[in-house]
Amino acid sequence: MVRNWKLPLVATLSFLFLGCHSGDSIPADWKSFPIGKGQVKVRVPADYQQRTEPDDTLVLIPPNDLGVALRFNLHYMEGAGIPADVGAKFVRDQAKEKQLQVNEKGDKVVMTETTFGEEEGVKVERRFWQIGFQNAVVVMSATIVEGKKDTPAVKECLEKTIPLVIQSLRK
């Protein structure tokens, strides 16, 4: 019997190049934006538009009027005697106080809250994330137009893009 050596080779190469590709890796073409005074950077898809609001709030808007606006604020703690993981500790303490769960991935501790309200007569859902790592706490929010929150594009933004945005946060 003649054995076809190409089949195992193709299977191995397919596994290496396709099967091991992480679905949660940050795409290389994403743009980087500074938060606060630039101590922390966040990466988002290249087609997001930047706006700024008072108090060093970074606002990033997905294209095509999805009905989502992402906002970022930085609380950066520095000085003598500050523990190296003060950001993560702060988020854990906030979650305990509010009786909320935290999610930990790598060096980041994440707490999530959701509220509902109105902006300029439009019903919105607001999701807040406190992301603590090292000596930083990033408060990120997504303001979602209620009438658009069930569209596939908004769901993809909230379920797939935002976890990668959180993962991208770096000093």
Domains (range + CATH), the chain: 26-168 (3.40.1000.10)
pLDDT, position 90: 95
pLDDT at 127: 97
The pLDDT tens digits for 139-160 are 999 999 999 999 999 999 999 9
Instruction: Show the DSSP H helices in the chain as ranges.
Output: 6-14, 86-98, 152-156, 162-168
CA 90 to chain centre: 18
Torsion 34-40-160-59 (CA) sign: negative
4-25 pLDDT, tens digit per residue, is 444 333 333 333 333 333 345 8
pLDDT at res. 24: 59
pTM: 0.81
56-68: burial string, b at 16+ Cβ within 10 Å, e else:
ebbbbbbeeebbb
Q: Determine contact, residues 70/63, Cβ cutoff 8 Å.
A: no
Q: What are 35-53's pLDDT values in tens digits?
A: 988 999 999 999 999 987 8
Q: Over the chain, what is the mean pLDDT?
A: 86
Amino acid identity, residue 138? V
Give the C-alpha separation, 83 to 2, whole Å. 65
